[in-house]
């Protein structure tokens, strides 16, 4: 049996205002062709199908057109779980219909582990695979808030809630396998941040839970899982050095920081021996290029790209010593008449600070939501003691906003 592990499609994602629908269509066309040519039996999508909880009509069209292509083969299965960017209710809405097409969707956590278990039968109607399709676990799924809780109490509840939920689903899978009385492989799925996971600046990976907790330990996952397909982190990587617990990463670079990393999907082949795991490189559908240095270096690099007739999207990082007041105008002139497109200009020149202490060239693009709140606390001279509690409360609010399912009635 051949299984293809993917995650973090982020259909509908924009990069500094530039829509990326063409890239997503190109990727899914490539993916469908790969599945057909390699005779893949099952496709796993471990969360973040869409980039936000209210996907546009174009994003939905791209998604359902791909599923329609997958449904053309009666012996092929697709399993889709929700990530933290997805709307659980939106993904779940057509699940009963999609089930008849061998497309299995798990949009939200359930109190019954059976709702997150998927058994896959072969052409002889014998069970070939059991999947623990655990979606992103939202705060309200795993923790009951109580008045007067400390930050540590909340974090401990989250960790225990995650462990408890995974344990419940995995034990149900093991029980089902025992009933079959044959060595059927068990595949786990999850969308979370595990200990030691690698991220990079600008990859858009959100903090999933409140407080300082960003990840869970390896002890969440039982030893009897044959392969664990994870989503949320965008860089392909093993977890704890295991070949069988992996993030496949996002198929497209989410930002310029990811552009230098090779993207891939993960092929898992089951036979009588241990599963064979192989990374399959994803082609680059739109070149992203960061050009940095002083003016002469930047213009030289742009001229080289022009000589190659490149159509790259550019991030320009100016690091010269001279103050370039009209930098954007000069850059636009340099790429005029070419297929190059400048999406972002960042001026790293160390300028004199204005009287309020804010850098002249600093914009909201350079700050995340926590940076902005931190500036607010600084302005109001909040004490360190109060700062910790206020920051925790702020993170709770941001977490709740990120998890709000605006598609739910």
Q: CA 251, CA 385: separation in Å to the nearest integer?
A: 43
Q: CB–CB of 154/194 below 8 Å? A: no
Q: CA 320, CA 361: separation in Å to the nearest integer?
A: 14
Q: How many helices (H) and strands (E) in the chain?
A: 10, 17
Q: Which two tokens stand for residue 10?
A: 């982020």
Q: CA 141, CA 193: separation in Å to the nearest integer?
A: 16
Q: CA 311, CA 87: separation in Å to the nearest integer?
A: 34
* Residues near 291 by beta carbon (within 8 Å), at least 6 away in sequence: 298, 301, 302, 305, 314, 315, 316, 317
Tell me the domain boundaries of the chain.
2-281, 288-403
Q: What is the pLDDT of residue 408?
A: 65
Q: What is the pLDDT of residue 275?
A: 85
Domain 288-403: assigned CATH number: 3.30.160.720
Q: What is the pLDDT of residue 399?
A: 67
Q: CA 251, CA 59: separation in Å to the nearest integer?
A: 16
Q: What is the pLDDT of residue 212?
A: 40
SS3 280: strand
The ranges of the chain with pLDDT < 70 are 144-149, 151, 195-196, 199-215, 324-325, 348-368, 379-380, 399-409
Q: CA 150, CA 156: separation in Å to the nearest integer?
A: 10
**What burial class does residue 329 get, using C-beta atoms within 10 Å of its C-beta: 0-12 exposed, 13-18 middle, 19+ buried?**
exposed
Identify the CA nearest to 405 among candidates 50, 67, 103: 50
**What burial class does residue 25 get, using C-beta atoms within 10 Å of its C-beta: 0-12 exposed, 13-18 middle, 19+ buried?**
middle
Condensed to tens digits (0 to 9), the pLDDT of residues 106-127 reads 999 888 889 999 998 877 778 8
Q: CA 367, CA 354: separation in Å to the nearest integer?
A: 18
SS3 17: coil
Q: CA 409, CA 401: separation in Å to the nearest integer?
A: 16
* H or E segment and range at residue 45: strand 42-46
Q: CA 360, CA 49: separation in Å to the nearest integer?
A: 38
Q: What is the pLDDT of residue 30?
A: 97
Mean pLDDT for the chain overall: 84
Domain 2-281: assigned CATH number: 3.60.21.10
CB count in 10 Å sphere of residue 335:
17
Q: What is the pLDDT of residue 201?
A: 63
* Residues near 329 by beta carbon (within 8 Å), at least 6 away in sequence: none
Q: CB–CB of 38/299 below 8 Å? A: no
Beta bridge partners of 306: none
Q: What is the pLDDT of residue 352?
A: 35
Q: What is the pLDDT of residue 362?
A: 57
Q: What is the pLDDT of residue 191?
A: 93
Task: Tell me the C-alpha to C-alpha distance, in Å, between residue 226 and each of 2, 32, 265, 283, 407.
Answer: 13, 25, 18, 29, 35
């Amino acid at each position: 049996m051949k299984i293809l592990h993917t995650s973090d499609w982020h259909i509908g994602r924009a990069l500094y205002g530039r829509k990326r629908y063409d890239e997503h269509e190109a990727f899914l066309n490539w993916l469908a062709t790969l599945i057909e040519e390699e005779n893949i039996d099952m496709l796993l999508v471990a969360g973040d199908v869409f980039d936000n909880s209210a996907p546009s009509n174009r994003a939905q069209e791209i998604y359902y057109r791909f599923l329609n292509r997958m449904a053309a083969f009666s012996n092929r299965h697709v399993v889709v779980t929700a990530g933290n960017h997805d709307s659980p209710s939106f993904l779940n809405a057509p699940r009963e219909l999609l089930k008849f097409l061998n497309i299995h969707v798990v949009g939200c956590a359930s109190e019954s582990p059976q709702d997150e278990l998927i058994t896959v039968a072969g052409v002889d109607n014998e069970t070939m695979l059991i999947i623990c399709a655990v979606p992103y676990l939202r705060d309200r799924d795993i923790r009951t808030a109580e008045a007067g809780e400390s930050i540590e109490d909340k974090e401990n509840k989250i960790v225990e809630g995650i462990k408890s939920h995974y344990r419940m689903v995995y034990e149900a899978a093991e029980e089902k396998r025992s009933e079959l009385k044959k060595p059927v492989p068990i595949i786990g799925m999850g969308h979370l941040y595990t200990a030691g996971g690698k991220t990079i600046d600008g990859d858009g990976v959100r903090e999933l839970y409140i407080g300082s907790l960003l990840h869970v330990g390896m002890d969440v996952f039982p030893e009897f899982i044959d392969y664990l397909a994870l989503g949320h982190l965008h860089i392909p990587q093993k977890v704890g050095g295991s070949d069988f617990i992996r993030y496949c990463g996002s198929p497209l670079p989410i930002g310029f920081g990811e552009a230098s990393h090779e993207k891939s999907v993960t092929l898992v082949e089951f036979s009588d021996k241990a599963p064979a795991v192989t990374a399959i490189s994803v082609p680059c559908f739109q070149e992203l290029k960061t050009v940095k240095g002083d003016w002469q270096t930047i213009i030289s690099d742009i001229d080289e790209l022009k000589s190659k007739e490149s159509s790259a999207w550019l991030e320009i990082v100016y690091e010269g010593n001279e103050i370039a007041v009209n930098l954007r105008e000069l850059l636009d002139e340099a790429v005029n008449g070419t297929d190059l497109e400048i999406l972002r200009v960042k001026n790293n020149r160390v300028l004199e600070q204005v009287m309020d202490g804010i850098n002249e060239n600093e914009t909201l693009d350079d700050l995340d939501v926590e940076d902005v709140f931190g500036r607010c606390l600084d302005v109001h001279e909040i004490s360190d003691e109060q700062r910790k509690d206020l920051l925790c409360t702020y993170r709770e609010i941001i977490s709740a906003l990120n998890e709000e399912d605006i598609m739910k009635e």
